[in-house]
Amino acid sequence: MVLAGLALAATAPVSAQDSALRADARSKTQQQGTAAMERLKRAVAHQVKGAVTGPTALPTLPEAARRRAFDGLRARTPDPAMETRARAALQTGKDAFAAQREAMAQRLRQALGLDAPDVAAVTAAAAAGARRAWVPVLFASPSMPIATLRNYAGQLEQVGGVMAFRGMPGGMQRVAPMARLSAQILRIEPDCDGPACTMRNVQLIVDPLVFRQHGVSVVPALGLIPGDPTQPYCERDGSSPASRHIIYGDAALSGMLAEYARLGASEEVRDVQARLQGR
């Protein structure tokens, strides 16, 4: 027991001395850190204060110096090669812009039904010979369901046919309703909207004369007209080529063609039926 007490008494002074040393070291570290931070602040403040900034305004030149500068620019010798390249680049840009503008305008006209893409194809087909001499013409009306008109347009596209209307919705003085109807009929994707929509290659015509010439009063009806049925009605007369028969009924184009052939016109229908069947 006596030895244990002496040991405790011997170690007590050592612990107090260590604590004092640690406290003194901590105090010196804090002082040195504070002094370092102060030196850093002073250095940063001195650097910012002495930083060099650029000019904020153009220098004011004497009039003589300004005149010499402009005289030097006017006296510069032009480079013919560079000017030629610049003019060529400008013309190329103008041509590209004009081509793009025309392409967009053509798409817009096709979307509105004002510029059918198959006029040349139908005209060439009529003059190509006997195989394409008879052009199917479907007599239709704007009052028919859009779905029915779209189905007929898809079938007429396969045979190079034409869809004819007696008049335009809203009267002959109003073009916009007919343009919208044409776009609804010819768009391949019914939900598509805008000039970029893909249109069917089918000609739509408004021709009251062809209705009167064939005595068509009920639609849908089908006829096979020799020559060019897209000729403007104002240039046609009673002696214009006409279809030998008129087939009535809300039936598929294949059924109407079969009925046309049954009436003794198999030669006229043969090539049209072959194109419809993909042969």
Tokens found for residue 28 = 């010196």
Q: What is the pLDDT of residue 112?
A: 56
Backbone angles phi, psi at 195, to 5 degrees: -70, -15
Q: Is 138 helix (H, G, I), strand (E, B) or coil?
A: strand
Q: What percent of the chain has pLDDT over 90?
A: 29
Q: What is the pLDDT of residue 50?
A: 55
Beta strands in 117-246 (DSSP E): 134-140, 162-165, 203-206, 221-226
Tokens found for residue 103 = 């392409």
What does pTM read for this prediction?
A: 0.52
* Nearest alpha-carbon partner for 107 in 15, 186, 171: 186
Q: Which residues of the chain have pLDDT under 70?
A: 1-18, 47-56, 107-132, 172, 232-239, 279
Q: What is the pLDDT of residue 130?
A: 39
Convert the pLDDT of each residue in 161-176 to its tens digit.
Answer: 999 999 988 776 778 8
Helix runs in 146-204, H state only:
146-159, 176-186
Distance of CA 104 to the CA centre of its chain: 9
* Nearest alpha-carbon partner for 38 in 46, 48, 49: 46
Q: What is the pLDDT of residue 4?
A: 44
Q: What is the pLDDT of residue 42?
A: 80
